[in-house]
């Protein structure tokens, strides 16, 4: 379903992106080693739409596709041809450069997110939110890392946020605080 440059991204593209993501992530599992990985990108899309309140099909496509370049054989050109250069660019901004050492990769990724359009930041906040929701399925020794990583992104995305990110940031911080409370012994 190639997209000519002048074509507007529609809900049909969102449905296609869901199928594309399912095929691209086929066989991959979440860190619990049981849940199909594609459930994460579906959940990120639903959080973006139903919890954060964004219905822009470009954003929903980016949410569904946000891990395809990083975690599959999909590349920028595949997404640009199928969904638009804008959607592909947003996915690229949500993609870490795995060629870099981890500390450099995370620093470069956060700098890119901070400079990104608010729509990309909203997708990342939905991603963080889902990872926080999902962390209870992780072994206890992995949970502090998830909390630390979420805090890193939330701190970075909280600097000079656009008005559109007020609610997503509030919701993500609220969930982070809930997950950070130590269970009573």
pLDDT in tens, 93-136: 999 999 999 999 999 999 999 999 999 999 999 999 999 999 98
* Predicted local confidence at residue 35, as pLDDT: 92
Catalytic residue at 81?
no
* Predicted local confidence at residue 132, as pLDDT: 97
Across the chain, mean pLDDT equals: 93
The active-site residue out of 16, 56, 70, 164 is 70
pLDDT exceeds cutoff 90 at 175 = yes
pLDDT exceeds cutoff 60 at 139 = yes
* Predicted local confidence at residue 22, as pLDDT: 97
| Listed residue (145, 150, 131, 123) closest to 63, CA to CA | 123
Distances, alpha carbon 28 to alpha carbons 9, 35, 98, 152, in Å: 28, 9, 18, 26
pTM of the model: 0.93
The residue written with tokens 């849940």 in the block is 35
* Residue 159 pLDDT grade (very low, low, confident, very high; cuts 50, 70, 90): very high
Query: What would the two tokens of residue 72 be?
Result: 């599959």
Catalytic residue at 70?
yes
Query: What would the two tokens of residue 134 be?
Result: 């999902």
* Residue 184 pLDDT grade (very low, low, confident, very high; cuts 50, 70, 90): very low
Q: What distance in Å separates the CA atoms of residue 69 and residue 72, rounded to the nearest whole number?
A: 6
DSSP character at residue 89: H
The active-site residue out of 6, 16, 56, 71 is 71
């Amino acid at each position: 379903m190639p997209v000519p440059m002048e074509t507007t991204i529609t809900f049909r593209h969102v449905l296609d992106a869901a199928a594309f993501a399912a095929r691209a992530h086929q066989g991959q599992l979440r860190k619990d080693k049981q849940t199909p990985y594609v459930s994460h990108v579906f959940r990120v899309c639903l959080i973006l739409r139903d919890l954060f309140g964004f219905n822009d099909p470009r954003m929903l496509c980016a949410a569904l596709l946000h891990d395809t370049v990083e975690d599959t054989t999909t590349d920028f050109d595949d997404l640009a041809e199928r969904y638009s250069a804008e959607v592909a660019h947003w996915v690229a901004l949500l993609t870490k450069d795995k060629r870099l050492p981890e500390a450099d990769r995370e620093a470069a990724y956060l700098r890119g997110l901070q400079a990104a359009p608010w729509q990309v930041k909203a997708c990342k906040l939905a991603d963080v939110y889902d990872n926080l929701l999902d962390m209870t399925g992780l072994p206890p020794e992995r949970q502090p890392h998830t909390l630390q990583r979420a805090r890193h992104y939330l701190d970075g995305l909280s600097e000079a946020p656009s008005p559109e990110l007020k609610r997503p940031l509030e919701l993500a911080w609220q969930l982070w605080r809930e997950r950070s409370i130590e269970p009573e012994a």
